[in-house]
């Protein structure tokens, strides 16, 4: 079998890449080791924060904006709601870099926002514990994206546009040769393509054993908190925006009650112990793993019961500089990696998938790929040798 493009891994980035390839009329195949929208990688748990003004920099604002457009098109095609915009509130002490970084990224792209002092915050958002030194940035373009729905709809759209999909099959080896790439699969077959896009998330170092980008996979947990009886109305999306909150000891983020689930809360430094074998990551969560997020909930929200519900294990994949690794690992390679999407990658994933396809097909990218170039590590490795 000879394809134009094979996409390995149909999670957040890979499902988007397959959709982008199929939309271009390219003969493409997607391969996924588990089922579509499964709960064993990095993309399960009903919701992800979609922040339009991200503190990581203007290049990430561009990725989020492009993702929003791509999902809006998918929403129009399917009648489903992938992203729900509810507004986003960043709260931190006035001199915090968090507020400065959010404002700088939004200013760089002329995005609107509102500045709030401690009095405004207390009046408008009484759910939060606010100190006199706190300030807020309210971003009207922020909300929540539904990860399982986005992945499923992307794969289905790709199939409608002609993509072939193989589920329950693992890519075991990738071999580049003159004129193409061979991919061995766990069912014993070999498939070939002119270009291969590797979007295997936490499994990247297992599949690309000589990948120059040093990756660390860390444990993260998903958890939700229930409003105290009588306080339910305080945490609905119309009055309780998505938030990020910096406190002295602990900093966290969260989302309102969406789709009748509870209030989702996590910590900024949520990346826990290192994971060697992503397939063995335990979905169950031990009580000790929840102590800090429960302490954060107790400190910040008097009207939530600070006992985590529905807790579940997840994984975060990071580069040392915590920037994504999107592109060819070395010049002339026929492989494109969509890697290390960190603890904030879902909101960018539709654009990341598209960017991977644009690089694979030598198209002019819509979003600048330079800040994400994986060869920043290849070059470092060569310098050391």
Ligand X SMILES: Cc1cc2nc3c(=O)[nH]c(=O)nc-3n(C[C@H](O)[C@H](O)[C@H](O)COP(=O)(O)OP(=O)(O)OC[C@H]3O[C@@H](n4cnc5c(N)ncnc54)[C@H](O)[C@@H]3O)c2cc1C
**Residue closest to ligand X, measured at CB:** 11
Q: Which of 12, 18, 193, 293 is the binder for ligand X (CB under 6 A)?
A: 12
Question: Toward ligand X, which CB reaches closer, 234 or 325?
Answer: 325
Which neighbouring-strand residues pair with 176?
A: 181
- Cα distances from 272 to residues 6, 277, 372, in angstroms, run 33, 15, 24
What is residue 165's three-state secondary structure?
strand
**313 phi-psi bin (left φ>0, alpha ψ -120 to 50, beta other):** beta
Q: Which of 99, 158, 316, 367 is the binder for ligand X (CB under 6 A)?
A: 316
Sorted by sequence, the CB contacts under 8 Å of residue 266 that are 6+ apart come out as 220, 221, 222, 223, 252, 253, 254, 293
Q: Any contact of residue 29 with ligand X (CB under 6 A)?
A: no
Q: Phi then psi for 135, rounded to 5 degrees?
A: -135, 165
| 113's tokens | 């926002």
Which run of H or of E encompasses 11?
A: none
Looking at 88-96, 108-116, 120-128, 194-202, which segment touches ligand X (CB under 6 A)?
194-202
Looking at 26-34, 116-124, 132-140, 291-299, which segment touches ligand X (CB under 6 A)?
26-34
Looking at 77-85, 153-161, 232-240, 339-347, which segment touches ligand X (CB under 6 A)?
339-347
- Count the residues of the shown chain that bind ligand X, applying the rule CB under 6 A: 38
CB atoms within 10 A of CB 187: 10
Interaction pattern, residues 202-241, with ligand X; x per rule: CB under 6 A: -x---x------------x-x-------------------
Interaction pattern, residues 91-130, with ligand X; x per rule: CB under 6 A: ----------------------------------------
> Distance between CA atoms of 92 and 186, rounded to whole angstroms?
49
> Distance between CA atoms of 208 and 220, rounded to whole angstroms?
23
Q: Any contact of residue 34 with ligand X (CB under 6 A)?
A: yes
Question: Toward ligand X, which CB reaches closer, 88 or 306?
Answer: 88
User: What is the contact surface with ligand X in residues (CB under 6 A)?
Assistant: 8-14, 31-34, 41-43, 48-49, 170-171, 199-201, 203, 207, 220, 222, 266, 270, 314-316, 341-347, 349
């Amino acid at each position: 079998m000879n394809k134009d493009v094979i996409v390995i891994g149909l999670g957040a980035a890979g499902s988007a890449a397959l959709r982008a390839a199929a939309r271009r009329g390219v003969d493409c195949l997607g391969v996924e080791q588990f089922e579509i929208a499964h709960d064993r990688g990095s993309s399960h748990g009903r919701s992800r924060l979609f922040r339009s003004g991200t503190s990581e920099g203007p290049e990430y604002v561009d990725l989020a904006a492009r993702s929003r457009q791509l999902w809006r098109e998918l929403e129009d095609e399917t009648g489903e709601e992938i992203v729900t915009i509810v507004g986003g509130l960043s709260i931190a002490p006035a001199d915090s870099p968090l507020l400065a970084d959010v404002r700088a990224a939004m200013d760089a792209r002329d995005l609107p926002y509102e500045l709030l002092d401690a009095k405004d915050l207390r009046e408008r958002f009484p759910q939060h514990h606010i100190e006199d030194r706190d300030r807020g940035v309210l971003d009207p373009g922020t909300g929540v994206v539904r990860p399982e729905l986005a992945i499923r709809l992307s794969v289905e759209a790709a199939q409608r546009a002609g993509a072939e999909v193989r589920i329950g099959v693992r890519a075991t080896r990738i071999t580049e040769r003159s004129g193409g790439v061979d991919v061995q699969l766990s069912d014993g077959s070999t498939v070939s393509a002119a270009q291969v896009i590797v979007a295997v998330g936490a499994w990247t170092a297992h599949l690309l054993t000589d990948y120059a980008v040093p990756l660390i996979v860390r444990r993260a947990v998903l958890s939700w908190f229930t409003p105290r009886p009588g306080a339910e109305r305080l945490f609905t999306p119309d009055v309780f925006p998505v938030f990020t909150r910096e406190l002295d000891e602990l900093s966290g983020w969260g989302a309102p009650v969406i789709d009748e689930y509870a209030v989702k809360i996590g910590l900024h430094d949520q990346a826990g112990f290192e994971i060697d074998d992503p397939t063995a990551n335990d979905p169950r969560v031990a009580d000790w793993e929840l102590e800090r997020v429960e302490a954060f909930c107790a400190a910040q929200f008097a009207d939530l019961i600070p006992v985590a519900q529905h807790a579940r294990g997840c994984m975060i994949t990071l580069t040392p500089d915590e920037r994504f690794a999107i592109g060819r690992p070395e010049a002339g390679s026929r492989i494109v990696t969509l890697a290390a999407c960190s603890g904030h990658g879902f909101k960018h994933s539709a654009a990341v998938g598209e960017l991977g396809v644009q690089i694979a097909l030598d198209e002019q990218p819509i979003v600048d790929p330079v800040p994400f170039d994986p060869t920043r590590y290849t070059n470092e490795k060569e310098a050391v040798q």
